[in-house]
């Protein structure tokens, strides 16, 4: 598995919603397990703290998100294939260093954080 610094196709020329197209919401988890929701437009440099991990929720109906996911070498090939493929049921998998899956988000209010 490659380091996040070389694997995510993010450059300094991209910002805001263009940084991670189709990103609906994200959480940053510290090494102690605490989580903070981060706004997609202000997604941090993932190389800044290797002890931090992220939960990213993408809108897979957004072709830009699927293109980004399919090109992200940070994810295992099985994860990339699953996330950009067709689905008829919800799925969640774990590997040694990644949790990935697809599921319908029927409750999330995209205009504000859930309470």
Asked if residue 19 belongs to a domain, the reply is yes
C-alpha dihedral sign at 19, 6, 47, 2: positive
End-to-end CA distance of the chain: 36
Summarize the confidence of residues 52-78 as an average pLDDT: 87
Asked if residue 56 belongs to a domain, the reply is yes
Q: Which domain holds residue 32?
A: 4-76
Per-residue pLDDT tens over the stretch 20-59? 888 888 898 888 889 999 876 777 666 566 678 888 888 8
Is this model's pTM higher than 0.75 or not? no
Asked if residue 11 belongs to a domain, the reply is yes
Q: Into how many domains does the chain fold?
A: 1
């Amino acid at each position: 598995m490659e380091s996040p610094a070389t694997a995510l196709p993010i450059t300094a020329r991209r910002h805001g919603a263009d940084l991670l197209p189709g990103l609906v919401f994200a959480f940053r988890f510290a090494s102690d397990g605490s989580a903070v929701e981060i706004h997609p437009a202000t997604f941090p440099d993932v190389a800044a703290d290797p002890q931090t991990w992220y939960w990213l929720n993408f809108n897979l109906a957004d072709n830009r998100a699927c293109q980004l996911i399919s090109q992200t070498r940070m994810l295992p090939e099985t994860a990339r294939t699953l996330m950009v493929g067709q689905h008829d049921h919800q799925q969640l998998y774990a590997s040694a260093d990644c949790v990935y899956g697809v599921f319908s988000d029927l409750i999330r209010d995209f205009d504000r954080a859930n309470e």
